[in-house]
Structure 1
Amino acid sequence: MPDGRDRYTISEVAAHTGLSAHTLRWYERIGLMPHIDRSHTGQRRYTNRDLDWLALVGKLRLTGMAVADMVRYADLVRQGDHTFAERHALLCATREDVRRRIAELQGTLAVLDFKIDIYADAPRVSERSETSA
């Protein structure tokens, strides 16, 4: 997916995104998703544009952005171009949070690498101490 068509059921979108139908409905209810078109029977019909938006929401989730901030961002997008500055500020703040978390993770990785190196050398140290005894 996308497969050349531009209308997808909630189950198809759930399968494609890995999100549950419940989560997709919740995103719509809290204002994180734009209005989703409905078929004549009332069934949700997602578009490729909706899939693109969900991909962005997925990336925002991975940044650790709070749901309230994601909803705020979605609201700003719906309000139009005059909200560019606010959107920019929100995304810049999120980027700084991500950079801070990356730095923390790099420090944590360095500690793990140090400990792994100790354990990797442990059998050789143990073997030397046994042969010299």
Structure 2
Amino acid sequence: MTITEVSKKYELSADTLRYYERVGLIPEVNRNKNGIRNYTEEDCRWVEFIKCMRSAGLPIEVLIEYVTLFQKGDETIEARKEILTEQRKQLIEKMEDIKKTIERLDYKIERYDQSVVKKENELKRMDD
């Protein structure tokens, strides 16, 4: 696949894909004889993985470390697992914080709804 096709498929700009490759977020993509990037299924799996992790808020530095370890082979499996485990733990903490924030927002919204209904009832009584 060309960079344009991958860009459309994963809704990432070509510049973002080039950046991901340049900083080591995805392994270097092979090029055809004309120097045009030729993304394989494996390359696309990396793009999909990085997009997923970034959308969840994982830092670029952590992902670069993970990819670097991956490229070093099986002797880094435990280190990679530790990275993923720590990031999972942090995401769960964020998720709990978000849940608390949503509950607080729901409470505030409900209070505003009650205020609006109260005001409407007061106005209605005044019209009677």
Give the structure with the larger helix fraction.
2
- Cα deviation for residue 53 of structure 1 reads 1.1
- Cα deviation for residue 31 of structure 1 reads 1.3
With normalisation by structure 1, the TM-score equals 0.88
- 2:74 pairs, out of 53, 59, 81, with 81
- Cα deviation for residue 9 of structure 1 reads 0.4
CA contact (8 A) 1:38 1:45 kept: yes
- 2:118 pairs, out of 109, 112, 125, with 125
- 2:59 pairs, out of 63, 66, 75, with 66
The two structures, once aligned, show a CA RMSD in angstroms of 1.5
Match of 1:106 in 2: 99
Flag structure 1 segments of 5+ consecutive residues without an equivalent: 1-7
- Cα deviation for residue 79 of structure 1 reads 0.8
Alpha-carbon separation, structure 1, partners of 2:99 and 2:116: 27
Alpha-carbon separation, structure 1, partners of 2:43 and 2:86: 25
CA contact (8 A) 1:63 1:94 kept: no
- Cα deviation for residue 63 of structure 1 reads 2.5
Deviation readout 1:60-110 (Å, 9 max, x if unpaired): 112221111111100111111111110111011101110111111111101
Percentage of matched positions with identical amino acids: 32
Deviation readout 1:8-46 (Å, 9 max, x if unpaired): 001111111111111111111111111211111111000
CA contact (8 A) 1:32 1:70 kept: yes
Partner secondary structure for residue 28 of structure 1: helix
With normalisation by structure 2, the TM-score equals 0.91
State how many pairs are aligned.
126
Which stretch of the first structure deviates more once superposed, 114-123 or 35-44?
114-123
Which stretch of the first structure deviates more once superposed, 115-124 or 73-82?
115-124
Match of 1:3 in 2: none
Flag structure 2 segments of 5+ consecutive residues without an equivalent: none
Superposition misfits of 4+ residues, deviation over 4 angstroms: none
